[in-house]
Structure 1
Amino acid sequence: MQQPEALGGLSHSGGIDHREPEPDGVFIPTENLNVASATQHVLKSGDTFIVNDPLGDITGHDDGLFVNDTRVLSQLRLTFGGRAPSLLSGSVSSDNTSFTAHLTNRPLPPLGGDSTPEGVIHVERVRVLSGTVLNEAIELTNYGASDAIVPLSISFGSDFRDMFEVRGLKRVNQGRVEAPRVENDEVLLGYVGLDDVARNVQIAFAPQPDKLFADRADYTIKLPAQACVSIYLSIAVQVVAQTPDAPSAGVSSPTHPLSEAHMSQIDTERPRVGRAAV
């Protein structure tokens, strides 16, 4: 078993990368979009709900993934070469069971060949919330005449604030935020509140990222012309009382986040490369 690293990451070979992520010409510094979106979309399942912008991103203002009124995910962003994609549309289904965003790329830097112009890569994000498990499928389709190399990053994080803090209340006392860990190709976030209840967040990806850090997963995707590829993201939250007399949150341990039972809600197939629909 790999030893967890609070600030390190895992490379595709499985070795721990102790360095902080640095600009390398492919994953350039992420542009600052720390502004609240005027439009928000909400999915709800029991006492769990997620609020995100039309891109599908969580920016850390009044949005996030909440379980029992605690924000267990305050950042979730999809970028290409450090830049957010362009929005085509974003909406919640009529039965309020899934969120879908249609996006397209901005110009991509030349990586081993020609640069990829804007609007060539179509990106579909489909998100489903089931209990305390959030599943998402990200499908990229290259409608261009040339192959493309796509530098894709998924960044994430949590401040574990409660609803009152998210709305502006300042608290004197705080719970304990655990150092994030990269372990067994997953990222683990943790928090123990003043109520002695632990909130554990498990973030998993399929296929395995090329590089995995405590706050980001990086892919370099080789996408042939007229082909598509899928990436799956799953975030599972477990709420556990630390002492027998601590109040129970009533949330049982979720099934493994990338189990077939959960992934079947958005796509029954494993990550794949296929041909684009004509």
Structure 2
Amino acid sequence: MTTAPQNFVTDAQFTRLRTVNLVAGLVLSAQAVLVSVVVLARKTPVLLPVTAGFPTGPVGATAEPQSVALADVDLGLAVVILLAFSAVLRFTWLLPAVAGWYRSGLDAARNPLRWVEYSQVSAITVFLIAQLNGVTEVGTLVALYAITAGATLFLALQEREPAGGSLRPFVFGAMVGIVPWGIIAFYQIGAGVLGDVPELFVRTVTLALLAAATLIWANAWLGRRGRGGWVHPQRQEIVQITLVTLGTTLMAGHVLWGALL
């Protein structure tokens, strides 16, 4: 076993990290298979509408916008894709062609693909959570997707700052990243005020995924501060994998419980 400075990944630590990736990948794969079986067994899919509203009449007219149904998102299939996507990325880090690059990036306390991965996982999750809370307009959904993905990529920029350096990218990313959740909360609370309270599983999955996202951002902040157990980049990576897997699992579990079974 090689020896290394505190902020470098030793052979034993990298083996442990590969094991974490393998276990997470297997867990996500098993969930993808389970959800697939349930989706195939259902007689009718759970469809979430995507609409577009177009103005009618002259500028300032009080006529209602014309709403057009563009498509439907198959909720079960979307969750399967989310689980499979996360599982494939977990297995990707185990490939010999990728492992060396993965390890050298951790040695430098940088892993930009970690944030590229999470930008898509988080954006898809927010897109689906918004739909569950009654957001149907395509412009709003695409904006929520893009804002969430873009906010996460600020964390990749944060890793380019030296240890103990400026936290501006993190702060800017957090300021942008909270916006989609604020919009989702607006729809959920507004529905409750109008007497149409969202289903229990919708409320709980929204809070659960918000909590998971908050913990992932907190983990990134602790990793950049580099204090305590987060001095070593391996800690941040393991916590990141665990939290992303947990968040995806919570999404799948709630959809199974509340909509598919």
TM over 0.5: no
| Length-normalised TM-score, structure 1 | 0.27
Q: Which has the higher contact order (CA 8 A, sep 6+)?
A: 2
| Length-normalised TM-score, structure 2 | 0.28
Structure showing the higher strand proportion among its residues? 1
Structure showing the higher helix proportion among its residues? 2
- Answer with 1 or 2: which has the greater Rg: 2
